[in-house]
Copies of this chain bind each other. A is one copy, B any other.
Amino acid sequence: MVDRRRMVRNYTDAPVDPAIVDRLLANALHAPSAGFSQGWAFLLLDTRDDVKRFWKSTEANEGLPDSWLSGMHRAPVIVVPLSCKQVYLDRYADPDKGWTDKDETRWPVPYWDIDTGMAALLILQTATDEGLGACFFGVPREKWDAFRAEFGIPEQYTPIGAITIGHRAPDKPSPSLKRGRKPVAEVVHRSHWRSSPG
């Protein structure tokens, strides 16, 4: 399944079974999270009108070719995974963690974004399992205000990206893939950095 999943950027007009959408979201909630904080939320857009409002508010289309746009715009469902740092800061101020100062610099990496990204991957994987296509892409920071205003999203919640979901139509693989997957020998370091790759 890991091998089959890839970003799908073109969709048919066919609607997605709501029961599948439920499964996508239910599985997302099984992502791990630091201290079981679960500092995430998911905006589900599953009507033509809501999907249109998403594209209009985020205008994630600048500089993209029309073929990309029309294919992506046909996706009948969009899920926006949102991360919330404050939930993590609050969770780790609990007695069993003890970071009562809620100081963000205590955090080595932004687990709110990482955990929510894991939830996003579970959505992508579940879509693949269900025979659907999905694509995870970024929401430009300069569009966050318009996006939040359109859907009533609180300031504390950050869209770490958005996921289109639908039935696959033929599409061209991303040109980025021409770069090739890095081989194990290049990215895995055993025992010591580059001392015995692979």
Contact = CB atoms under 8 A, between A and B. Distances in A.
Contacts of A110: 110, 113
A109 B34 contact: no
Contacts of A38: 181-182, 187
Interface stretch (A9-17, A66-74, A150-158, A164-172): A150-158
A139 interface: yes
Interface string A106-139: 1111110111111011101010000000001011
Contacts of A47: 191
A194 interface: yes
A160 B114 contact: yes
Nearest to A80: B189
Interface string A177-193: 10101101001111111
A124 B188 contact: no
Interface in A138-164: 138-141, 144, 151-154, 158-161
Interface residues of A, number: 77
A63 B29 CA distance: 29
Interface of A: 2-3, 5, 7, 22, 25-27, 29-32, 34-36, 38, 40-47, 50, 63, 83, 96, 98, 106-111, 113-118, 120-122, 124, 126, 136, 138-141, 144, 151-154, 158-161, 174-177, 179, 181-182, 184, 187-195
29 contacts: A7-B32, A29-B187, A36-B176, A36-B177, A36-B179, A36-B181, A38-B187, A41-B189, A42-B187, A44-B191, A46-B190, A50-B191, A63-B98, A106-B141, A108-B141, A108-B160, A109-B138, A109-B158, A109-B160, A110-B113, A113-B113, A114-B116, A118-B121, A121-B121, A151-B189, A152-B192, A152-B195, A153-B193, A154-B193
Closest 5 CB pairs of A and B: A114-B117, A36-B176, A152-B193, A108-B141, A118-B121
